[in-house]
Every structure is written in structure tokens, then in C-alpha cells.
């Protein structure tokens, strides 16, 4: 695992955008669901159960009784006649810190595979390995030619042995090309 500051900054911005997008979606969901009035309590509970958990936010759902009264003024003693009882949902959400922290920590890390030792004699540290790898930009640019879909997708071979042989020929051609450069 290698941690890169430049890579970290770009990926952290992406994580922040994902958190903001999720918050925006939750605000829209909250606005939609709080408008709905349910005729019975089981309907409201069923909708509350169907709300799935979100990645970066914790949601708390409360059921609210919404009485509907007959039109007109209250009686002399101040009591209004109840026509029916409706039910609604109240949604509250807050950032859930453990997944946010985990996403931010993972943002700047990437895996660099190598057959060099990480411990013992002849070992190379992760930073040294990244430096060596980043100095090989010419090799990677040349390999991009071999990985180009325009070039590779036009090849049709019948057996895996032929594909392997053609790959070997391409690598040898690339080796000769690098030596000529």
C-alpha cells in the first residue's frame, strides 16, 4: 500500500463530493416523504421499514400523528372535533463518521504490486518502489500501445496458444523498439 499526497487530495475531493451528493439526495427524500400523509399507522411503518441505510449518513425516522379536524371553530370549551387521524414520517439524518473517515483514509492509498521483497536483504521500501515505478513512464507509454483497444480489438485468433504467441511477438517487438530508441 502506498500513500500519495497528490493522489490523496484528488480522491478526498471526490469523497467530499460523494458525501455532498448523498446529503442532497437525502434532503430530496426527506422533502418527499414528509409531505405524504398515511391513512393508517401500518402503512407509515411499512414505508419507514423500506428506507434503506445510506453509506455516509445515519437516518432516524419518527412517526408523527397528524390529526385532521372538522372545519369550523372549536367548541366553547376549546375542544375541536377530530375527523380522522393521519400519520406521517419525520426524517432526520446526520453524517456517520466511521464510514466517512474510512473513505477518506482509503482515498489516498493505492496498491502497487511488485515481486521485490519488502523486508530483509535486498528489500525496497514502498516510497523507493514508487519512485522507481514512476521513472518508467516511457515503458508505460509504450505498453499503452499494446493495450490500445483500437489495435487489440481488431485481432481475431482461434486458440489461446496463438494469442499467447502473438503477445510474445508484440513484447519482443516492443523490446527491440525500446532498444532502438
C-alpha 6: how far from chain center: 20
Q: What are phi and psi of 38, to 5 degrees?
A: -100, 145
Band of pLDDT at residue 4, cut at 50, 70 and 90: low
Determine the pLDDT at residue 45: 93
Candidate from 1-10, 43-52, 68-77, 172-181 with smallest mean pLDDT = 1-10
User: What is the Cα Rg of the chain in Å?
Assistant: 31
Domain-by-domain residue ranges, the chain? 2-104, 137-181
Average pLDDT over residues 122-149: 74
Proportion of the chain above pLDDT 90, given as a percent: 35
Q: What is the predicted pLDDT for the residue at 125? A: 77
DSSP 32-101: HHHH--BSSHHHHHHHHHHPPPPSSEEEEEEEEEEEEEPSSPPPTTSPPPEEEEEEEEEEEEEE-HHHHH
Work out the average pLDDT over 132-160. 74
Report the first-to-last Cα separation within the chain, whole angstroms.
33
Nearest to 128 by CA among 5, 7, 2, 8: 2
Say if residues 90 and 64 touch (Cβ distance below 8 Å).
yes
pLDDT of 103: 87
pLDDT for 49 beyond 80: yes
Q: Could you tell me which residue, 5 or 40, shows the higher pLDDT?
A: 40
The dihedral built from the CA positions of residue 147, 148, 152 and 153, taken in this order, carries a sign that is positive
pLDDT for the residue 149: 74
| The dihedral sign for the CA sequence 125, 14, 60, 40 | negative
56-90 residues labelled b (16+ CB within 10 A) or e (exposed): bbebebeeeeeeeeeeeeeeeeeeeeeeeebbbbe
Q: Is the pLDDT of residue 90 over 80?
A: yes
pLDDT recorded at residue 1 = 57
The predicted pLDDT at position 35 comes to: 93
Residues near 131 by beta carbon (within 8 Å), at least 6 away in sequence: none
Residue 115: helix, strand or coil by DSSP? coil
Q: Is the pLDDT of residue 19 over 90?
A: yes
Say whether pLDDT at 101 is over 80. yes
Residue 40 · residue 87 · CB < 8 Å: yes
Query: What is the sign, positive or negative, of the torsion defined by CA atoms of 111, 114, 118, 123?
Result: negative
Mean pLDDT of 129-136: 75
Reply yes or no on whether the pLDDT at 115 is more than 80.
no
Residue 81 scores a pLDDT above 80: yes
Amino acid at each position: 500500500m502506498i500513500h500519495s499526497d497528490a493522489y490523496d487530495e484528488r480522491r478526498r475531493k471526490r469523497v467530499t463530493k460523494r458525501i455532498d451528493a448523498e446529503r442532497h439526495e437525502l434532503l430530496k427524500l426527506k422533502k418527499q416523504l414528509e409531505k405524504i400523509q398515511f391513512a393508517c399507522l401500518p402503512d407509515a411503518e411499512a414505508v419507514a421499514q423500506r428506507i434503506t441505510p445510506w453509506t455516509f449518513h445515519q437516518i432516524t425516522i419518527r412517526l408523527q400523528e397528524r390529526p385532521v379536524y372538522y372545519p369550523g371553530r372549536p367548541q366553547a370549551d376549546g375542544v375541536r372535533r377530530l375527523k380522522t387521524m393521519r400519520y406521517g414520517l419525520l426524517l432526520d439524518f446526520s453524517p456517520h463518521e466511521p464510514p466517512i473517515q474510512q473513505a477518506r483514509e482509503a482515498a489516498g492509498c493505492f496498491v502497487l504490486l511488485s515481486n521485490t521483497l519488502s523486508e530483509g536483504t535486498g528489500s525496497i521500501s514502498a516510497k523507493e518502489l514508487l519512485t522507481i515505478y514512476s521513472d518508467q513512464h516511457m515503458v508505460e507509454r509504450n505498453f499503452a500501445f499494446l493495450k490500445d483497444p483500437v489495435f487489440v480489438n481488431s485481432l481475431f485468433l482461434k486458440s489461446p496458444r496463438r494469442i499467447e504467441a502473438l503477445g510474445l511477438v508484440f513484447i519482443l517487438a516492443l523490446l527491440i523498439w525500446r532498444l532502438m530508441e
